[in-house]
Amino acid sequence: MPAHPSPQAESKDAVDVLIVGAGPTGLALAVDLVRRGVCTLVVEAADRPFSGSRGLSLQPRTQEVLDDIGVMDALREAGRPLPPMQTWRNGRRDGEWRLVERDPQAPVTRYPVQWLVPQWRTQQILQDRLLALGGVVEYGTRLTALHQTDQLVQAELTQTDGSRRTLNMPYLVGADGGRSTVREALGIKMKTEGGALHAAVVADVRVDGLDHDHWHTWPDGPGGELLLCPLPGTDQFQLTTPVGGEEGDPCPQRIRELIATRTHLSATAVTDVQWTSSYKPRTALAERFRDKRVF
Ligand SMILES: Cc1cc2nc3c(=O)[nH]c(=O)nc-3n(C[C@H](O)[C@H](O)[C@H](O)COP(=O)(O)OP(=O)(O)OC[C@H]3O[C@@H](n4cnc5c(N)ncnc54)[C@H](O)[C@@H]3O)c2cc1C
């Protein structure tokens, strides 16, 4: 399912670089390659673009890179700086504070502050730029196997309907996330630093009774702190809160229950639950970043 027909789409089976994964990494790399005239195809296992707010705070260095590939103006329009934090206790506002203080000694950059944009919007902006340059993203296409020789890489691609095709190309890049099929196919291990932190849930929600000018936090909620961050360009908040053990993606009822038990808001104040996920933060680094023709 190509995102759009384009000049490169017609020749998508004769590519120089196959990028596996249409997350922010794969899309940003594709923009950089296509603008340099490298024939690139992005394949994405999911049937449609990512819809969650997940990574919503762009760091200064990330913004510099995004500026270089021509998307920072659109991202500035789509986002806002980090709002002040608002602590709540016993149903009352209990202090406003800054999550990040400006450091006058910090190196000079055009982008000194973190910039909030929901991840789905960042990906949409990157994809729009890629398509405008003539690039292609093929959704519903999973890399299922890869082999390489000194001359080329052979990738087996499986569509959502189960059909398969094989593609040969000079280079392949794995931008397929933490559980990368590419990394595992090459036998490259992850070096883990420290243990995993507590499990947590994240969700995009509509909530009545809160202003959108603060990142709200209830630090004393039974079971852990709950935070609601306003999502720029939407009437939603991103909820994050720890949970006791690993859970699958929580259902809307579970999200309402967490808000009702950990904040002063009632379950009925939650008027919509758009997207939910669960995660366990950990720090890990791949042992190597290249194996012959695969990055
Ligand atoms: C709760 C939370 C908050 C976060 N907050 C921030 C933040 O504030 N700022 C920040 O910078 N980062 C943040 N992050 C991290 C950020 O979301 C990730 O760093 C980012 O998504 C990584 O992008 P990526 O493109 O490398 O991988 P991903 O976003 O994981 O994308 C990988 C893509 O590859 C696809 N894929 C996987 N396997 C295959 C296959 N075999 N074939 C084809 N496609 C495949 C997947 O479907 C996916 O679309 C946060 C993460 C979480 C969980």
- pLDDT tens track for 21-33: 999 999 999 999 9
Residue of 31, 32, 43, 44 to test ligand 1 pocket, by largest number of atoms within 8 Å of CB: 44
How much is the pLDDT for 7? 42
Strands 237-242, 226-230: pairing kind: antiparallel
Query: Using a 6 Å cutoff on CB, does residue 54 contact ligand 1?
Result: yes
Q: What is the mean pLDDT of the chain?
A: 93
Angle between helix axes 24-35 and 119-132 (nearest 10 degrees) is: 20
How much is the pLDDT for 105? 85
Confidence band (pLDDT; 50, 70, 90) for 196? low
Which tokens go with 119?
A: 């991840």
Which tokens go with 188?
A: 């490259």
Lowest mean per-residue pLDDT among 64-78, 136-150, 187-201: 187-201
Q: Which atom of ligand 1 is nearest to the CA of 142?
A: 42
Assess whether pLDDT exceeds 70 at residue 12: no
Distance 177 CA to ligand 1 centre (A): 5
Q: What percent of the chain has pLDDT over 70?
A: 95
Instruction: Return the amino acid letter for 40.
Output: T
Q: Which atom of ligand 1 is nearest to the CA of 180?
A: 38
More confident residue, 74 or 192: 74
Mean pLDDT over 28-43 rounds to 98
Q: Which residue has the tokens 């995004």?
A: 66
Mean pLDDT over 150-163 rounds to 98
Neighbouring CB atoms inside 10 A of 208's CB total 10
Query: Using a 6 Å cutoff on CB, does residue 174 contact ligand 1?
Result: no
Q: How far apart are CA 43 and CA 22, in angstroms?
A: 7
Which tokens go with 261?
A: 């038990």
For residue range 94-140, what is the model confidence (pLDDT) as tens digits? 999 999 888 888 888 889 899 999 999 999 999 999 999 999 999 99
Domains in the chain, start-ordered, CATH in brackets?
Answer: 9-51+121-185 (3.50.50.60), 200-279 (3.30.70.2450)
How much is the pLDDT for 25? 98
For residue range 248-284, what is the model confidence (pLDDT) as tens digits? 889 999 999 999 999 999 999 999 999 999 998 888 9
Distance 274 CA to ligand 1 centre (A): 18
Assess whether pLDDT exceeds 80 at residue 3: no
Q: How far apart are CA 276 and CA 72, in angstroms?
A: 27
Candidates 16, 22, 295, 15; CA nearest to 138 is 22
Distance 163 CA to ligand 1 centre (A): 26
How much is the pLDDT for 188? 96
Q: How far apart are CA 18 and CA 195, in angstroms?
A: 33
Mean pLDDT over 135-157 rounds to 97
Query: Using a 6 Å cutoff on CB, does residue 19 contact ligand 1?
Result: no
Q: Percent helix, strand and coil across the chain, each rounded to 5?
A: 20, 35, 45
Contacting residues for 143 by C-beta, under 8 A, at least 6 apart: 20, 43, 45, 155, 156, 157, 176, 181, 182
Candidates 279, 282, 255, 276; CA nearest to 267 is 255
Assess whether pLDDT exceeds 60 at residue 45: yes
Q: How far apart are CA 200 and CA 276, in angstroms?
A: 11
Residue of 124, 176, 275 to test ligand 1 pocket, by largest number of atoms within 8 Å of CB: 176
Mean pLDDT over 217-245 rounds to 95
Confidence band (pLDDT; 50, 70, 90) for 5? very low
Contacting residues for 173 by C-beta, under 8 A, at least 6 apart: 17, 18, 19, 20, 26, 29, 182, 294, 295
The answer to whether the beta carbons of residues 117 and 56 sit under 8 Å apart is: yes
Mean pLDDT over 238-246 rounds to 91
How much is the pLDDT for 10? 43
SS3 192: strand
Query: Using a 6 Å cutoff on CB, does residue 279 contact ligand 1?
Result: yes
